[in-house]
Amino acid sequence: MSRIELYDTTLRDGSQGEGISFSLEDKLQITLRLDELGFDYIEGGYPLSNPKDIEYFQRVIDLPLRHARVAAFGMTRLRNSAVEKDRGMHALRDSRAQIITIVGKTWDLHVHDVLEIDEAENLAMIGDSIGWLASLGRELLYDAEHFFDGYYANPEFALKTIQAAEQAGARMVILCDTNGGRLPEEIAAAVAAARKVLAIPVGIHCHNDCDLAVANSLAAVAAGAVQVQGTINGLGERCGNADLVSVGANLALKKKHDVLRGEGVARLTELSRYVYELANMNFRSNQPFVGSSAFAHKGGMHVSAVNRLARSYEHIPPETVGNVQRVLVSELSGRSNIVAKTTKFRIQKDSRLISQILDRVKELEALGYQYEAAEASFDLLVLKLAGQYQSKFDRIHYRVNVETEADSVPLTEATVKLRVGGQIEHVVGEGDGPVNALDRALRKALLPTYPRLAEIQLVDYKVRVINSAEGTAARVRVVIESRDGQDVWSTIGVSENVIEASWLALVDSVEYKLFKDAGVLGETGEASQEGRS
């Protein structure tokens, strides 16, 4: 099949999403990562909007990009003004970007009621802006804003606007569903109409207000579009943009188009999570293709079938996009789930032990535990029931004290008493809160014996009330996500006391790290020979 260009606008359109802000260094690092995977265009920003975008275009020139071309984004000249005196045009010129994407009006509603100009002036704004920048040797892409709304309101005028862009020197016209309100069949018909009046190729830029941005992008490609614009993870204003992760995977794996370069498709999961990290956002677990739940199986019947034939419940092999299959355990689990989850312990032939594990999981989940969100705690539970667990330390007691005075910051102090290697460790730790103080005290007691615990970072901390009808006496579930230099793992604790629940999850996190470092659990959670003895 044909080559479809992927044009990423995460750094500009994506950063307009609520709560999203990339630093200059973030933008440069994302640029490098997108280039590594083979994205064709990277829109760096609008050089007139802020100093960070201006500096980005100064810095990006020095990056060793191997494939991607960096584009600057801007608007047509101001109404009733000379293009050569327009500040926006000067900013685009001075950005030194060789690719410039200009956005202009297509919908007569915007022309008359927003810009308050006539149609002739709108066409002149498009032609003058593209023509002036093209005369400077730049390659021009034209974003036809609100094209689909404009086409269905006044097709004759909408088509005139994109013809004006072509006549002025645009290399490609990008048809934009700016309000994100169109359906796939409407997108396809309008793309076909645009292609009939243009000699240059067309692309597609969809927003996701009807949850159809990916479907609309694929419909546009089927109708002849050769470029798809969007963002990683669908970031963007309102409901976001077309998710280029899903778009790229669908085009490559379902439609067999040529997209990205080398192992780009196989690294989409890595890319998705990298951008989430830099945006300081949590991963979306149910995100298609790359989410942690995308190939996760919970129902016993599903797991039984997947164990026999993975494709019976998976539309693609997870590794084709860099993801992995996961089997979840819960009170809904059957024996197949437990068998699959304990493969690394080689205990599948012990029918009695499998039943014990399943029964214990159900008992604990009735109390509020949820092991599908805490696989590290599940692994420790299996070790205990299998008789393979030998505690690295014994807990004697802990105490947490919080002191505060009016208008002062609370002081939190945790005292922990442990038996480690036959020695009693009785230590105090201070922190910003009870969990932080307990974490510091626990590490302080254990670090002399287990120095690699210094590698642990607490990534996330979640608290959920289980039986809210009990009010302040309700049982709570705490899930802690931890990581070291190689792995990420989650642990769980449940209690009527939030500090006790936190302590249980925290101890599990530390114990999992110790078992992993000792080789009882490998870096990927696989049991070693020591753990199987």
Tens of each residue's pLDDT in the chain, 533 residues: 799 999 999 999 999 999 898 999 999 999 999 999 999 999 999 998 788 999 999 999 999 999 999 999 999 999 999 999 999 999 999 999 999 999 999 999 999 999 999 999 999 999 999 999 999 999 999 999 999 999 999 999 999 999 999 999 999 999 999 999 999 999 999 999 999 999 999 999 999 999 999 999 999 999 999 999 999 999 999 999 999 999 999 999 999 999 999 999 999 999 998 998 888 787 888 999 999 888 877 765 666 676 667 777 788 999 999 988 776 665 555 555 666 666 666 666 677 888 888 888 888 888 888 887 788 898 898 888 888 888 889 999 999 998 887 677 788 999 999 999 889 999 999 988 888 999 999 999 999 999 999 999 888 888 888 765 556 557 899 999 998 877 888 899 999 999 999 999 999 999 999 988 887 664 433 333 333 32
Note the pTM of the prediction, 2 decimals.
Answer: 0.71
Cα separation, 150 vs 102, in Å, equals 17
Domains of the chain (ranges plus CATH)? 5-261 (3.20.20.70), 296-371 (no CATH)
- Distance separating the N- and C-terminal Cα atoms of the chain: 53
Q: Quick one: tokens of 367?
A: 């109390």
- For 446, the 3-state DSSP assignment is helix
Q: Is the dihedral of CA 264, 177, 31, 26 positive or negative?
A: negative
DSSP string, 290-331: TSTTTTEE-SHHHHHHHHH-GGGS-SS-GGGGT---EE--ST
Cα separation, 412 vs 441, in Å, equals 11
